[in-house]
Amino acid sequence: MKKQSVIILSVVGITAIALAISYQQGLLPVQGTSAQNIQEDWAQGATGSADLSINFDSLRLLFANVAPNQRAALLDDEAAFGEFVKSIASQKSLLAAAKSNNLDQEPNINFLMRRSAENTLMELYLNRLISNKIPTDFPTEEQISEYFENNKDNLVVEERVSVWQIFIPTPQGTSDEQISEIQSQAIQIVSDIRAGRTDFTNAALTYSSHQPSKLNGGYMGILKISELIPGIHEPLLALEEGEISEPIKSEMGFHILRRDQVIPSQPVTLEQVRPQIRNLLVNQLRARLQNEIIELATNTYPVEYQEDAIKEWRNILKNSN
């Protein structure tokens, strides 16, 4: 016999589920649905027992769970606050429609509703315990400085390079003959640029299919050398600054490259990375505390099951699909 506790942290969106179910049940318009059909669907369930009102107490509870910056924005904008209340009313109407059609009585939907509430409770429990255990002054300046000193050899700005590109794709299914024609076109573009018949910017605007860089005349930006796609790294770095490459074939197509400045890797200062170190230390502590809380819950409230049953359950589920 083995004892185990399982904690699931994902929170199911009640509104999203209700919306999806409503489409399945014909409560909301889909393509080809008439207004008359929609009205008939609404008429299928009685709404006399549904709570179709909003009072201040319920509104205050909902508002308390809005992020602080959003609460301030809503209170500062009368129209936005009105839309907030209207959205709550719409959600209550949607909930009433779902209940009036007895969707909450269906076993699987009822399970999802209960599971969503359980997930929310577990997540709030974890967040409350973790927040109570993290000191308000964590991490201290000393802790941030210590982390920086212990890891500063790894805290560097990677080597980067300024890259320009003209990209001509060879989509999947392109024949060998078409690939040969595209390659010939790319070779001609390189020849025209080197001969001064056009410049790189105009050629990129005319021929390149990589839209973000095309709009910048082919400029890709300053890229980390370690993140360059395979097959591009070596020929690009072999170019002199300002030099244009021959067409380079990749799985995606042909690349005509121009290399500009290579920026060597360089160390960063504590001031540059202080916010990142702070977030990293907080996240590390939160992860450790979460694991400790789950382990304590597992030992205090063990869930019993037969080890041999796991294989049996898997086979039953596998054979039923």
Structure confidence by residue, pLDDT tens digits, 144-195: 999 999 998 888 888 999 999 999 999 988 999 999 999 999 999 999 999 9
106 shares a domain with 40: yes
163 shares a domain with 88: no
Give the whole-angstrom CA distance, residue 88 versus residue 146.
Answer: 48
Residue 295 located in a structural domain? no
Q: What is the mean pLDDT of residues 51-70?
A: 89
Q: What is the mean pLDDT of residues 103-127?
A: 94
Q: Which helix (H) or strand (E) holds 164?
A: strand 160-169
66 shares a domain with 169: no
Return the pLDDT at 49.
57
Please confirm whether the linkage preceding 68 is cis (ω < 30° from 0): no
Q: What percent of the chain has pLDDT over 90?
A: 63
Return the pLDDT at 10.
36
Give the whole-angstrom CA distance, residue 268 versus residue 274.
Answer: 10
Average pLDDT, the chain: 84
Q: Please, are residues 211 and 229 in contact by the beta-carbon 8 Å criterion?
A: no
For residue 307, the tally of other CB atoms under 10 A from its CB is: 9
103 shares a domain with 59: yes
Domain with 230 in it: 156-267
Residue 96 located in a structural domain? yes
Among residues 243, 267, 291, the one where a domain terminates is: 267
Residue 278 located in a structural domain? no
Among residues 78, 109, 125, the one where a domain terminates is: 125
160 shares a domain with 96: no
Return the pLDDT at 50.
64
108 shares a domain with 63: yes
Residue 7 located in a structural domain? yes
Q: What is the pTM of this model?
A: 0.57
Return the pLDDT at 14.
37
Q: Please, are residues 254 and 247 in contact by the beta-carbon 8 Å criterion?
A: yes
Give the whole-angstrom CA distance, residue 74 versus residue 291.
Answer: 37
- Kindly report the CATH number assigned to the domain that includes residue 258: 3.10.50.40
The count of domains in the chain is: 2
169 shares a domain with 64: no
Tens digit of each residue's pLDDT (9 = 90 or more) over 5-56: 333 333 334 344 334 433 443 334 344 444 444 444 444 444 455 678 888 9
91 shares a domain with 42: yes
Give the whole-angstrom CA distance, residue 153 versus residue 280.
Answer: 17
Return the pLDDT at 6.
37
Residue 170 located in a structural domain? yes
Residues with Cβ within 8 Å of residue 193, at least 6 apart in sequence: 199, 200, 203, 244, 256
Return the pLDDT at 81.
93
Q: How confident is the model at residue 120 (pLDDT cuts 50, 70, 90)?
A: very high
Angle between helical axes of 107-133 and 270-300 (0-180°, round to 10): 120
3-state class of 199 per DSSP?
A: coil
Report the residue count for the chain.
321
Return the pLDDT at 290.
96
37 shares a domain with 121: yes
3-state class of 162 per DSSP?
A: strand
106 shares a domain with 42: yes
Residue 308 located in a structural domain? no
Give the whole-angstrom CA distance, residue 32 versus residue 42.
Answer: 17
* Neighbour-count burial of 50, counting CB atoms closer than 10 A to its CB (0-12 exposed, 13-18 middle, 19+ buried): middle
95 shares a domain with 12: yes
Return the pLDDT at 93.
92
Q: How far apart are the first and last CA of the chain?
A: 28
Residue 54 located in a structural domain? yes
115 shares a domain with 11: yes
Residue 281 located in a structural domain? no
Among residues 251, 267, 283, the one where a domain terminates is: 267
